[in-house]
């Protein structure tokens, strides 16, 4: 055990009463002796100061909130994207503030790619599972749908993030043009996954299929009921009904039949949803399911409901967030213009080849057939002559027949690091 002189310590920290010094030292001895979890006693300011001098970690008393950073979605060593590339975000939530609050914290974008970092916070005392999800997520401009795909997911919860908060990421393919303001994000029904035990449903499938007046049979979970059974031409048709927001229960992976003759498990293969005329505003939906099975097997079919992890709604509602401004802030560098290309015996003209920290694109004034393998003809190289792996995509504008071949980089890069671009093995740009 380390020996401490009280007179030296008292002098070092400003002539503190030795009573407090003895309290602090006694605390250290006990902490070293008892390695089991314990509550920290309430210590005086002097005692806390002494503990810091003795090398007791400050993190034992408080954990600082680590702010969202682009290093959370790119590599920790990423330095290409900085604060100067961010969009000053002003977001407004319009509904259900009492349940969840959703705020867009950071945004970056170029002419083709958009990234958003956002936070979700529930009421104090709630717990949000980091594996949870919203049943639906959409982003659009008023009167103009997004021009490409978008993905939303949650980051693993940091130690400094409370249990009622989550941090999310959105990245999207977009072409904002001149109307980038007013981007809207909508979220519906917070869902979390739970295990539901397998339950055998007490019903005779053969009798139900033979009857013209099927009795509605409540199913164990999800508020769903079986209300119709028919068999025709080797296909068992089951009609279920239930709330629209628990439609996942009607999916075949969450229920099945067992043929008791052979213990064979039989899942449905198709599904269709529909509404009856009186159900449009009631929140009720019908689910039509189809199970290929011989008629001879009907008396031996057991219906099993559950035995699966199911996403169910924990917090029902809709939330809308509007971004007042979403301008393009990561500008592209034009690498080359009016470049003649040849592919498959066809002469092409690339109007512009440009690159930003986030993506790269080749623009054509006239339509290019993307099914010919042209996407694989483009390759880019760094200063070492090594190829930069890219997943090229294709976007066409039907209004004027123009099109674009482009790729989003998996990690932001400095455009200056792109030293060569080839098309079908021929160099079309070099520096």
Task: Express each pLDDT in 32-83 by its tens digit.
Answer: 333 333 233 344 444 444 333 444 443 333 456 678 888 888 888 888 998 8
**103, 133, 111, 117: which is closest to 73 by C-alpha?**
117
Residue range 148-173: average pLDDT? Answer: 89
Judge whether residue 3 has pLDDT over 60: no
- What integer pLDDT is reported at residue 304 of this predicted model? 94
Kindly give the residue spans of alpha helices, DSSP state H, lying in 276-415.
none
CB 323 within 8 A of CB 182: yes
Find the radius of gyration of the CA atoms of the chain: 31
Residue range 211-229: average pLDDT? Answer: 86
Take residue 117 and report the two structure tokens written for it.
Answer: 């970092």
**Structural domains of the chain ordered from first start:** 6-60 (no CATH), 70-195 (2.60.40), 200-306 (2.60.40.10), 333-430 (2.60.40)
Judge whether residue 8 has pLDDT over 60: no
Task: Express each pLDDT in 308-358 by its tens digit.
Answer: 888 888 888 889 998 877 777 898 999 999 999 988 888 999 999 999 999
Can you spell out the DSSP letters for 277-304? GGGTTTTEEEEEEEEE--GGGGGGEEEE
Judge whether residue 29 has pLDDT over 80: no
Judge whether residue 260 has pLDDT over 50: yes
Residue corresponding to tokens 């003809």: 377
Percentage of residues of the chain with pLDDT beyond 70 = 77
Sheet holding 255-259, edge to edge: 199-201, 301-305, 255-259, 264-266
Mean pLDDT (the chain) is: 79
Take residue 328 and report the two structure tokens written for it.
Answer: 């393009």
Residue range 181-190: average pLDDT? Answer: 85
Take residue 115 and report the two structure tokens written for it.
Answer: 């990234």
Residue 179: pLDDT band (50, 70, 90) is: low
Phi-psi region of 27 (alpha: psi -120 to 50; beta: other; left: phi over 0): alpha
Q: Say which residue, 21 or 207, is predicted with more confidence.
A: 207
Q: Which of 2-11, 256-265, 370-379 has the lowest mean pLDDT?
A: 2-11
């Amino acid at each position: 055990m380390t020996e401490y002189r009280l007179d030296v310590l008292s002098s070092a920290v400003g002539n503190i009463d030795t009573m407090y010094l003895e309290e602090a030292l006694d605390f250290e001895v006990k902490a070293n002796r008892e390695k089991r979890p314990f509550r920290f006693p309430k210590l005086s300011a002097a005692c806390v100061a002494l503990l810091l001098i003795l090398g007791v970690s400050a993190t034992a008393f408080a954990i600082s909130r680590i702010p969202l950073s682009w290093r959370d979605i790119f590599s920790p060593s990423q330095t290409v994207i900085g604060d100067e590339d961010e969009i000053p975000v002003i977001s407004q939530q319009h509904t259900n503030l009492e349940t969840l609050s959703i705020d867009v914290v950071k945004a970056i974008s170029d002419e083709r790619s958009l990234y958003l970092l956002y936070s979700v916070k529930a009421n104090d005392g709630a717990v949000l599972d980091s594996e949870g999800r919203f049943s639906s997520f959409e982003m659009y401009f008023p009167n103009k749908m997004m021009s490409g795909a978008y993905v939303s997911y949650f980051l693993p919860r940091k130690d400094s993030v409370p249990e009622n908060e989550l941090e999310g990421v959105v990245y999207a393919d977009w072409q904002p043009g001149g109307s980038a303001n007013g981007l809207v994000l909508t979220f519906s029904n917070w869902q979390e996954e739970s295990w539901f035990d397998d339950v055998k449903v007490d019903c005779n499938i053969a009798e139900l299929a033979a009857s013209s007046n099927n009795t509605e049979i409540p199913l164990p979970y999800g508020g769903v009921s079986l209300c119709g059974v028919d068999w025709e031409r080797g296909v068992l048709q089951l009609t279920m009904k239930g709330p629209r927001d628990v439609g996942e229960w009607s999916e075949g992976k969450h229920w099945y039949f067992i043929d008791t003759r052979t213990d064979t498990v039989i899942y449905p293969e198709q599904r269709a949803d529909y509404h009856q005329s009186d159900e449009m505003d009631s929140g009720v939906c019908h689910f039509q399911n189809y199970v290929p099975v011989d008629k001879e097997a009907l008396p031996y079919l057991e219906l099993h409901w559950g035995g699966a992890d199911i996403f169910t709604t924990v917090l029902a509602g809709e939330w809308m967030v509007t971004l007042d401004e979403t301008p393009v802030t990561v500008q592209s560098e034009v690498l080359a213009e009016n470049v003649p290309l040849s592919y498959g015996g066809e002469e092409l003209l690339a109007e512009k080849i440009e690159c930003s920290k986030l993506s790269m694109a080749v623009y054509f004034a006239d339509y290019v057939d993307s099914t010919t393998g042209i996407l694989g003809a483009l390759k880019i190289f760094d200063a070492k002559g090594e190829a930069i792996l890219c997943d090229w995509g294709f976007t066409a504008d039907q209004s004027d027949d123009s099109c674009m071949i482009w790729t989003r980089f998996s990690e932001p890069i400095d455009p200056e690091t792109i030293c060569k671009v080839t098309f079908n093995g021929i160099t079309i740009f070099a520096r």
